[in-house]
Amino acid sequence: MTKATLAFFLAAVLAAGLDVAPAQAQLSRTFVSAASGNDANNCDRPTPCRTFQGAHNKTNDLGEIIVLDAGGYGSVDITKSISIVNDGVGEASILVSGGATGIAIDAGAASYINLRGITIQGIGFGGGIGLTFNKGFALTITNCVIRNHTQDGLDFSPTVTSILDVSHTLIADNGGFGIAVFPPGSANVKVAFSHVEVFNNSGDGIAVSNSAAKGGTLTGVIADSIAHGNGGFGYALGAFSGGPPANLTVIRSVSANNQAGLFANGPLGTLRVGQTTIIGNTASWEVMNGGFIRSYGDNNIDGNGDGDPAPITIAKK
């Protein structure tokens, strides 16, 4: 074989390899489109995917999925650090039926998941759960809607140390809790809710509890939020004997027309409340099994079915 022929042969082999490689590569930024997407595409901007799951599977760890237009994008199982982002192109929705789950998160212990501008809508036929979180380090939810599911709207039950942050989000009309934070093990868990509306859920609006956990801690903050018309408690804390300490602070919020505005169950935690309106509930607040509710003395408690007793006041400092 001559040198020229050998050079040509090697160049041809190299070119063939280059043609194949990009089709197999994952991208750090992928796109979905209801209008023009196809999951057979590589999910780049000119050739987007059709579903969240299709794009998730072709996105690098720590990458992001961008929504290009309004439409339904199907349920998704998240197993890595990823962002799914809709920044105002119209409703990007997931329809849930048949006892299914809209978004299920079971990622690595160090994974970060970010959801923005997503609607998770139950459509009957046993609509299941809006979102479940079993494993990952951090979940942030912003500008989302989770509604009309037959069970919980958001079920946060991490088995490892985790953080949950929810802001500017509506969770309504669900058959269970609006938001349930029930870590089953010894993980340390921190949760924060800001400008969150939990409305007309059959169970509690927002409930955080150490559940059967042992050895970890659970802390939560609720600020500038509304719990209204829920069948259970507006804001509830569980801190049971044998579990870790659990604490919940409610500030500048409203709890109205629920079973009880505030609820604390168990001796190992304290629910603190300040600058909050508690009105129209069957009871303004309730404690069980040695639970503690403490007030900063600057709340509006009025029009509840129990005569509006004042909680024990924390001394101002």
Q: Which residues contact 59 (CB under 8 A, 6 or more apart)?
A: 26, 27, 28, 29, 30, 43, 65, 80, 82
Contact 301, 284 (CB under 8 A): yes
Question: DSSP states of 103-150 as a string?
Answer: EEEE--TT-EEEEESEEEEE-SSS--EEEEEEE-SEEEEES-EEE--S
Give Rg (Cα) of the chain.
24
Domain-located, residue 2:
no
Helices (H), the chain: 3-24, 52-56
- Phi, then psi, of 24 in degrees rounded to 5: -95, -15
Question: DSSP states of 27-65 as a string?
Answer: EEEEEE-TTT--TTS--SSSS-BSSHHHHHTTEEEEEEE
Domain-located, residue 37:
no
Domain-located, residue 56:
no
Identify residue 111 by its one-letter amino acid code: S
In this prediction, residue 7 has a pLDDT band, given cuts at 50, 70 and 90, of: very low
CA dist 140 and 200 (Å) reads 23
**pTM (2 d.p.):** 0.90
CA dist 54 and 58 (Å) reads 7
The mean pLDDT of 143-148, rounded to a whole number, is 98
Domain-located, residue 40:
no
Please state the domain count of the chain: 1
Q: Which CATH number covers residue 277? A: 2.160.20
Domain-located, residue 153:
yes
Domain-located, residue 15:
no
The mean pLDDT of 89-94, rounded to a whole number, is 98
Average confidence score pLDDT of the chain: 90
Read off the pLDDT of residues 168-193 as tens digits, 9 standing for 90 and up. Answer: 999 999 999 999 999 887 789 999 99
Domain-located, residue 265:
yes
Report the candidate in 119, 116, 89 with the shortest Cα–Cα distance to residue 102.
119
| Residue numbers of the domain that contains 206 | 62-313
Read off the pLDDT of residues 44-72 as tens digits, 9 standing for 90 and up. Answer: 999 999 999 999 999 999 999 999 999 99
Domain-located, residue 30:
no
pLDDT of residue 36: 97
Residue 10 pLDDT greater than 60, yes or no = no
Beta strands in 143-204 (DSSP E): 145-147, 154-156, 162-172, 179-181, 189-199
